[in-house]
Amino acid sequence: MKTFLLALIFIAMASPTSSLDAKTLTWSELSGMPLPAAGERITYGKGPQQFGELRVPKGDGPFPVMIVIHGGCWQNEFDYVYMTRLAGWLTEHGVATWTIEYRRLGDAGGGWPGTFLDLADGADALRGMAKAHLDLKRVYATGHSAGGHLALWLASRGKLPKSSELYRENPVAIQGVLGLAAITNLEKYRIGPPNSCHSSVEPLLGGGPDKVSSRYAETSPSQRLPIGVRQIFIQGEKDPIVEAASVREYVEAAKKAGDHAEILPLAEAGHFEACVPLPQTKSVFEDALRRLVSP
């Protein structure tokens, strides 16, 4: 796993829009930022990765709920902790947050179908926490990078056929998605350098589209349009891991399919500015939150 992480960092640095050239936020800089106080840890399954942190704003509520999903190329080298910064910020802005951990590649049961089933079960576990201060009619999902892919998938899973391994009856309805440097097209994204985030797609799904086409149809956001919910994307224009052009292409396809989708670009940002509000970007996050939750 250390080899994978080093390769990912090398690819980001070798890009012509790297953090060194463009002075974008690096993973090490992000990792050194202060963390919020821990939320309430709640399990949704028996496995060691099947838990989440619940944070609820002060006051009576009921509050809208944001499911927060971390990225990391679907690999267990990365966990949920870095996304708690965003979760804490959202909670301070009046939104309850449910930050989910889940099985990834490298974990027993991670990949197909376990990663997706964990996200489904984790989302549906909100019903068991439906205290008076949670408004389960206003549930949203946000995710960074691979987590953005999973957030879009959560919003689309109500349309899965009963024959699917990923089918769950009466899933919690997602009212909108905030994609943060989100991976949106698995068929295209899988094509990339060895030992990069791109190369995790086929292990995640158990093969390429020629072998497991139905799995791509059931999980790739680009193949699941229209998703039927509002989708707001925050995207760094100098992102070397998820190219801005791929998100723009998805947004145009989503709009043509009848979805409400839009991008809030970060002109001088790379991959990691999209997952945490910074002094220079917090206005974009506030705008995204208003656009997604207020309607």
Over residues 17-64, the pLDDT tens digits come to 443 455 899 999 999 999 999 999 999 999 999 999 999 999 988 999
Check: CB of residue 152 under 8 Å from CB of residue 181: no
Give CA–CA dist 37/85, Å, rounded.
9
Closest C-alpha to 274, from 287, 259, 289, 264: 264
Give CA–CA dist 261/156, Å, rounded.
14
* Exposure of 147 in the CB half-sphere (CA atoms within 13 A): 29
Over residues 171-228, the pLDDT tens digits come to 999 999 999 999 999 999 999 998 899 999 999 999 999 999 999 999 999 999 999 9
Closest C-alpha to 55, from 70, 30, 37: 37
* Calculated CA dihedral for residues 217, 205, 79, 21, nearest 10 degrees: -80
Structural domains in the chain plus CATH codes: 2-293 (3.40.50.1820)
Over residues 105-129, the pLDDT tens digits come to 999 999 999 999 999 999 999 999 9
- Secondary structure class of 173 (helix, strand, coil): coil
Burial class (CB in 10 A: 0-12, 13-18, 19+), 38: exposed
pLDDT at position 79 over 80: yes
Q: How many CB atoms lie within 10 A of CB 181?
A: 29
Q: Which of left, alpha, beta for 12 (phi over 0: left; psi -120 to 50: alpha)?
A: alpha
In the chain, what percentage of residues exceed pLDDT 90?
A: 89
**Residue 211, both tokens:** 């072998």
pTM for the predicted model, two decimal places: 0.93
Average pLDDT over residues 156-183: 97
Mean of the per-residue pLDDT values for the chain?
93
